[in-house]
Structure 1
Amino acid sequence: MSISFELAASIRNDLGKGATRRLRKQEMVPAVIYGAGEEPVSITLGHNQLMHSTENEAFFSHILSIDVDGKKESVIIKALQRHPAKNILMHADFMRVSMKEKLKVHVPIHFIGEEEAPGAKQGGVVTHSLVDVEIQCLPNNLPEFIEVDVSALEIGDSLHLSDIKLADGLEMVALLQGEDHDLQVVAIQANRAAEVDEDVEGAESAEGESEEGSGE
């Protein structure tokens, strides 16, 4: 993986709502690290460093390194709580990663070939039903993103999860649950607004010709 993320954190001993409020006033984010058969650890991170990292979509599909008072932990982010009205991070959950155990991570989808797609050239609208997909794999196989090529789609065509070709070692979590979980990923649909405009123009043209005919 070409991108790496390293965060600095400190052990959090002062727990409770009052302590949490004080931390946030100091521009710190309370968080927890758990999993891999070890006890959960409460930590704090700098708000600005965490916010800056979350601005990169790859942050959510990468193995992260957190230095907790000198001890490095390999983790993935599992949950991120944001303030409902302000651009503030409220809490984060990180799960430890074992390099020998498969993990499940939501990986962003990158759509390619939209401009070349015959359906798009014909005025169709490209609709993204999914923007990410949950992948199961060993940590070393974790992709930064999944590419979906739509360059061959006509109007009315669509691609589902089963149409996505994955690299060796990757599994689609939804498809492991059965064929009825084969969700649509992308489709090209007819531009209904354009069709309505054409119908209106056609009706107006026909009405004009009728009036001219009656005038004769």
Structure 2
Amino acid sequence: MSETLTLSAELRERAGKGASRVLRREGRTPAVIYGGNQDPVAIHIEEKALSKALGTGHFFNAIVELTVDGKTVRTLAKDVAFHPVSDRPQHADFLRVSANAEVHVNVPVVFQNEDSAPGIKQGGVLNVVRHELELVCEASKIPDEIVVDLAGLEVGDSVHISAVTLPAGTRSAITDRDFTIATIATPTVLTEEEEAPAAPEA
């Protein structure tokens, strides 16, 4: 399961662009907590702490516990807006979740046993169609990753979601088709004639 992340937050006393700019100059990132049949709460978080959490690689598929005024709120990070030039986090949205609530998350796919795939040994290329899977699972049981085994795959073979063993209590959010996650594609080797530039016509 994904490791729970923790962040300390403070209530925002003032809203608006001007107040948000002041917070950013002070090294804070404006944010909001919403959902859970409660009113939205405007908060701000230390930018360095938020950036560190973003750097874990599983910020968007882990429970984020926000401590606000001594109270801990279980949330999922739903969106972070970044500055187009500096790439600094400008604003974050967090969704309240209960421990047994079902949540939609995007979980990264990890491929293993490429060395045991005859198609790759023969020069085939792993063509990844989906680097993440959209899953539905309990908030307390979000997987870190989904492992896809490539052992035995030949050139032209495909891996579909139906062939992947998902953790207990986890299911695909896409249910209307058996979508492709990856294929072993035929290698593209150029001939000498294809590699050489065409001679100009007289």
- TM-score after normalising by structure 2: 0.90
What does residue 48 of structure 1 align with?
48
Structure 1 alignment gaps of length 5 or more: 205-216
- Give the whole-Å Cα distance in 1 for the aligned partners of 2:152 and 2:167: 21
Q: 1:41 to 1:97 in 2, by over 3 A?
A: same
1:14-68, Cα deviation, whole Å (9 max, x unpaired): 1101111111111211111111111110110011111111111222211111111
- Checking the alignment, whether the CA contact within 8 Å between 1:33 and 1:43 is kept in structure 2 is yes
**Alignment length (residue pairs):** 195
- Checking the alignment, whether the CA contact within 8 Å between 2:117 and 2:152 is kept in structure 1 is yes
Q: Which amino acid aligns with 1:34?
A: Y
Q: 1:185 is matched with which residue: 177, 181, 185?
A: 181
Matched, 1:200 2:196: no
- Give the whole-Å Cα distance in 2 for the aligned partners of 1:113 and 1:77: 32
Q: Once superposed, what is the RMSD of the aligned Cα atoms?
A: 1.8
1:69-104, Cα deviation, whole Å (9 max, x unpaired): 211111111111112222211111111111232111
- Checking the alignment, whether the CA contact within 8 Å between 2:2 and 2:62 is kept in structure 1 is no
- Give the whole-Å Cα distance in 1 for the aligned partners of 2:166 and 2:46: 36
* Greater mean deviation of Cα atoms: 57-66 or 29-38: 57-66
- Give the whole-Å Cα distance in 2 for the aligned partners of 1:183 and 1:86: 37
Q: Which has the higher helix share?
A: 1
Q: Which amino acid aligns with 1:187?
A: T
- Give the whole-Å Cα distance in 1 for the aligned partners of 2:127 and 2:39: 44
Query: Runs of at least 4 residues of structure 1 off by over 2 A?
Result: 1-4
- Give the whole-Å Cα distance in 1 for the aligned partners of 2:110 and 2:40: 34
- TM-score after normalising by structure 1: 0.84
- Give the whole-Å Cα distance in 2 for the aligned partners of 1:43 and 1:23: 11
Identity fraction in percent = 36
Q: Which has the larger radius of gyration?
A: 1
Deviation at 1:140? 2.5
- Checking the alignment, whether the CA contact within 8 Å between 2:3 and 2:63 is kept in structure 1 is no
1:149-199, Cα deviation, whole Å (9 max, x unpaired): 112211111112222211221110012xx12xx32211111121x2x1xx3
